Structure 1
Amino acid sequence: MGLLASNREASQAASAVLAQRYQFADPDSAETLVALGGDGFMLHTLHRMLEGECPNLPVFGMNRGTVGFLMNEWRLEDLAERMAQAKAIRVAPLEMRATTVGGDTFVHAAINEISLLRETRQTAKIEVLVDGRVVLPELVCDGVLVSTPAGSTAYNLSAHGPILPLQAKMLALTAISPFRPRRWSGAILPDENNICFRVLEPENRPVSAVADQYEVRDVAKVEIRLDRERSLTLLFDPEHALDERIAMEQFAT
């Protein structure tokens, strides 16, 4: 197993004590990875895998950050045993293909969500298409997002979108502060659907597109699909696995 740690002091200290207790391989020759940090570092590590900067290996995260929703509890003892008994959770990223007003195209992956956000004081006007069919001719809003089940408890939930069980082969389509249609509450779509957003009046009402931490400004069209061929594997203690955590978020108060 290999070891990665964020630059935070707590992560570096944990890395030092683990290295004294266990034998770690170079990440390039390892079969699994241990990641020390918070959710942001886990997302950073997964994106490095998607971009080919490090091997796409199963990752066992231990929380040395703040929330740690994607991480396991930090413990020094029994690491090898925990990893041997870990529950593997597969997550597939979204692919965003964003075309700007100037005609440039950018492709980025997102593990949690892809969101479109207004850039100025004016609301965005967005046409929504599913598999080439116009389902909303004009959504007037602060923005709109598409979330995976893994990301459904993040920005999507804050925007009053639905929590999706991890096993659900669904995507959440959620408006951010919709003005028209005022009562549109979003949609849950099969994950084989291709979703397209066309920005109406993009010069007067500019919109940016964000795939996790990657932003493309002044977009005219954003196409989104689930990329199953680039699935990632997270490892969790069986009693505290990601699928159970997401399910229990439905009962959080």
Structure 2
Amino acid sequence: MGQETYRKLAFVASARPEAQTALAAVIAKYGNVDAAEADAIIPLGGDGFMLETLRRYLPLVQRGLPVYGMNQGTVGFLMNGFVIEGLHERLDQSTQTEVHPLKMTAQAAGGQVTDTAFNEVSLFRQSQQAAHIKISVDGRERLGKLIADGVMLSTPVGSTAYNLSAHGPVIPIGSDILALTPISAFRPRRWRGALLSGHAKVRFDVLDPVKRPVSASADNSDIRDVRSIEIEQDRETTLTLLFDEQHGLDEKILQEQFAT
């Protein structure tokens, strides 16, 4: 729980008209400071904008600057409700959720690419041809050939995003588990993925990348013509997200598991 330390706030907003209107309203009431001088960053938008904000301010967030999102988008799973009044009090009473992103190193036709993902790292077929992907975990081959539209590795935070749409499992926060989920698997037809330790190192090798090209995505950052990709949790990076008391991210994930 907070200790009445969130007084200097840095507000940022997506380009949506409602988010821009909300931005003007909160700045008029609470002022606005540069993120480097703030006690917390307050993004106004949806989950996509939250991910953009984490990327944009990653050096500050890595050093412990917390992020408290307010929903001015569509889904808003990573956001709190938008209420102008009593913001300082809400922040002081908020709960903290610490998360670790994924660290990705990809070998592509254009060279090596490194990136960070907060939700998931995904591989997708780049043409009409199904992707052929070999999957290894901690240096040991686990699946010699997955024939599918693609495959993804998801964090607990991302387990309720694209992973859930692909029929992957919802993972409770704090479980230190990653979800490995196929996307429209053709062979093995009955393979539904796997739950891996948060310490696991996963490697995807693209088989026949010329005939069956594959692209990779770290959240919303895309890489074309991938040959191989290695992924592991970046345990040296801890991000702090703030949620209203009684409505933390762990509670949202639990609710999602009972959704009908």
Identify the TM-score tier after normalising by the shorter chain.
over 0.9
1:212 maps onto 2:181 in alignment:
no
Cα distance in 2 for partners of 1:51, 1:181 equals 41
2:156–2:173 Cα contact (<8 Å) kept = yes
Map 1:1-150 onto structure 2 (within 5 A): 1-50=9-58, 57-101=65-109, 104-150=111-157
Identity of aligned residues (%): 52
Change (3 A) 1:86 1:161: same
2:61–2:239 Cα contact (<8 Å) kept = no
2:61–2:240 Cα contact (<8 Å) kept = no
TM-score, scaled to structure 1? 0.96
2:57 is paired with a residue whose SS is helix
Counterpart for residue 5 of structure 2: none
Cα distance in 2 for partners of 1:55, 1:63 equals 24
The CA deviation at 1:24 is: 3.1
Counterpart for residue 177 of structure 2: 170
Counterpart for residue 201 of structure 1: 208
Read off the aligned partner of 2:55 and give its amino acid letter. Answer: H
Counterpart for residue 4 of structure 2: none
Cα distance in 2 for partners of 1:50, 1:144 equals 26
Matched residue count: 252
Structure 1 residues 131-180: Cα deviation after superposition (integer angstroms, max 9, x where no partner): 10000011111100000000001110111110000111100000111111
The CA deviation at 1:96 is: 1.0
RMSD across aligned C-alpha pairs, in angstroms?
A: 1.6
Structure 1 residues 50-82: Cα deviation after superposition (integer angstroms, max 9, x where no partner): 367997620111111111111000101100000
1:191 maps onto 2:198 in alignment:
yes
1:27–1:54 Cα contact (<8 Å) kept = no
Cα distance in 2 for partners of 1:105, 1:205 equals 19
1:97–1:108 Cα contact (<8 Å) kept = yes
2:54–2:61 Cα contact (<8 Å) kept = no
Structure 1 residues 26-71: Cα deviation after superposition (integer angstroms, max 9, x where no partner): 2221121111111111110001123679976201111111111110
Read off the aligned partner of 1:87 and give its amino acid letter. Answer: T
The CA deviation at 1:182 is: 0.8
Which moved further from structure 2: 122-131 or 93-102? Answer: 93-102
Cα distance in 2 for partners of 1:229, 1:53 equals 12
Change (3 A) 1:27 1:51: closer
Read off the aligned partner of 2:249 and give its amino acid letter. Answer: L
1:115–1:210 Cα contact (<8 Å) kept = yes
Structure 1 unmatched runs, 5+? none
Cα distance in 1 for partners of 2:194, 2:61 equals 35
Which moved further from structure 2: 44-53 or 161-170? Answer: 44-53
Read off the aligned partner of 1:250 and give its amino acid letter. Answer: Q
Structure 2 unmatched runs, 5+? 1-8
Cα distance in 2 for partners of 1:205, 1:52 equals 40
1:28–1:55 Cα contact (<8 Å) kept = no
